[in-house]
Amino acid sequence: MSMEEILSEVDMLERESKSLRKDIVQICWYMRGGITYDEAWQLGNEDREAIGELIKENLETTKTSGLPFF
């Protein structure tokens, strides 16, 4: 790989890493202690996606129903 390709790959991996950390923190916050930070890191990709979808659905439900979420 050329230096440019290597740097591009490193940039992509850094963005993915940042996104994953954000997802993990978001899961922990929305789970309100139902899962620890360390446990969240042990989740597989499919589990993280399923929890993320549940969070989005619950946010939409609260928006349409007008009930408090927090």
Structural domain that includes position 39: 18-55
- From the list 51, 27, 47, the residue with the least C-alpha distance to 37 is 27
Q: Can you give the pLDDT at residue 33? A: 87
CB 20, CB 37: distance < 8 Å: no
Render pLDDT for 18-63 as a digit per residue (tens, 0 to 9).
999 999 999 999 988 899 999 999 999 999 999 999 999 988 998 8
Could you tell me if residue 28 is inside a domain? yes
Residue 70's pLDDT band, with cuts at 50, 70 and 90, is low
Q: In this predicted structure, what is the pLDDT of residue 68?
A: 78
The pTM for the full model equals 0.77
Residue 30 in any domain: the answer is yes
8 in a structural domain: no
Quick check: is 37 in a domain?
yes
Give the Cα separation of 45 and 48 in Å (integer). Answer: 5
Total number of domains in the chain: 1
